[in-house]
Amino acid sequence: MNSSPTHRQINSPEDIRQRSGLEVPPLLLPDPRKLFAERALRLRQLAAGHAMRDYLMLMAVVCEAQHARLQQYPEVPLPDAAQAAAAGESGEPLLAAEHWPRAGQWRTELRALLRQVLDKLPSDSPARTGVQAVMALPDVALEQQADRLLAGITLGLDLAAAPLVAAGLQLYFTHLVAATGAAQPQAFQVPPDATRCPCCASLATASITRVGGQQDGQRYLHCALCSAQWHMNRIQCTHCLATQGIHYQSLQALADDQPSTRRAAVEAETCDGCHHYLKTMHVARDLHVEPLADDLATLTLDLLVSEAGFERHGVNLLLLFGDGDVQAGGG
Same-domain pairing of 178 and 276: no
Same-domain pairing of 22 and 42: no
Q: Could you tell me if residue 319 is inside a domain? A: no
Dist. CA 233–CA 221, nearest whole Å? 10
Q: Could you tell me if residue 329 is inside a domain? A: no
Secondary structure class of 209 (helix, strand, coil): strand
- In the chain, the percentage of residues whose pLDDT exceeds 90 is 81
Q: Could you tell me if residue 324 is inside a domain? A: no
Dist. CA 305–CA 277, nearest whole Å? 8
Dist. CA 222–CA 196, nearest whole Å? 10
Categorize the per-residue pLDDT at 17 as very low, low, confident or very high, splitting at 50, 70 and 90: very low
Same-domain pairing of 20 and 56: no
Q: Which of 267, 302, 306, 243 is CA-nearest to residue 11?
A: 243
Rounded to whole angstroms, what are the CA distances from 141 to 115, 168, 231, 313, 328? Answer: 18, 14, 36, 28, 19
What's the chain's average pLDDT? 90
CA pseudo-torsion sign 31, 52, 294, 177: positive
From the number of C-beta atoms within 10 Å of its C-beta (0-12, 13-18, 19+), residue 74 rates as exposed
Q: Mean of the pLDDT values across residues 207-215? A: 82
Q: Could you tell me if residue 136 is inside a domain? A: yes
Q: Which of 266, 265, 264, 276 is CA-nearest to residue 305?
A: 276
CA angle 76, 79, 82 (to 5 degrees): 155
Cβ-Cβ contacts under 8 Å for 69 (sequence gap 6 or more): 109, 112, 113, 116, 171
Same-domain pairing of 170 and 233: no
Same-domain pairing of 288 and 146: no
Same-domain pairing of 147 and 235: no
Q: Could you tell me if residue 40 is inside a domain? A: yes
Q: Could you tell me if residue 331 is inside a domain? A: no
Dist. CA 247–CA 8, nearest whole Å? 6
User: pLDDT, tens digit, for every residue of 40-71?
Assistant: 999 999 999 999 999 999 999 999 999 999 99
Q: Could you tell me the residue range of the domain that residue 40 belongs to?
A: 30-183
Rounded to whole angstroms, what are the CA distances from 213 to 22, 25, 268? Answer: 11, 11, 25
CATH number of the domain at 155, please. 3.90.1670.10
CA pseudo-torsion sign 232, 212, 19, 251: positive
Same-domain pairing of 79 and 210: no
- Contacts by 71-74, CB closer than 8 A, 24 or more apart: 71/32, 71/33, 73/32, 73/105, 73/109, 73/171, 73/175, 74/105, 74/108, 74/109
Dist. CA 27–CA 18, nearest whole Å? 19
C-beta of residue 232 within 8 angstroms of C-beta of residue 34? no
Same-domain pairing of 138 and 39: yes
Tally Cβ neighbours within 10 Å of residue 15: 10
Categorize the per-residue pLDDT at 256 as very low, low, confident or very high, splitting at 50, 70 and 90: very low
Same-domain pairing of 21 and 84: no
Range with lowest mean pLDDT among 9-13, 29-33, 116-120: 9-13
Q: Mean of the pLDDT values across residues 85-105? A: 96
CA pseudo-torsion sign 122, 39, 155, 321: positive
Same-domain pairing of 202 and 289: yes
Q: Which of 83, 71, 78 is CA-nearest to residue 109?
A: 71
| Residue that is last in its domain, among 154, 183, 212 | 183
Dist. CA 269–CA 62, nearest whole Å? 29
Q: How far apart are the first and last CA of the chain?
A: 37
User: pLDDT, tens digit, for every residue of 280-300?
Assistant: 999 999 999 999 999 999 999
Q: Could you tell me if residue 322 is inside a domain? A: no
Secondary structure class of 69 (helix, strand, coil): helix
| Residue that is last in its domain, among 183, 199, 218 | 183
Q: Considering the entire predicted model, what is its pTM?
A: 0.90
Domain count, the chain: 2
| Residue that is last in its domain, among 155, 183, 211 | 183
Q: Could you tell me if residue 117 is inside a domain? A: yes
Same-domain pairing of 235 and 125: no
Same-domain pairing of 167 and 119: yes
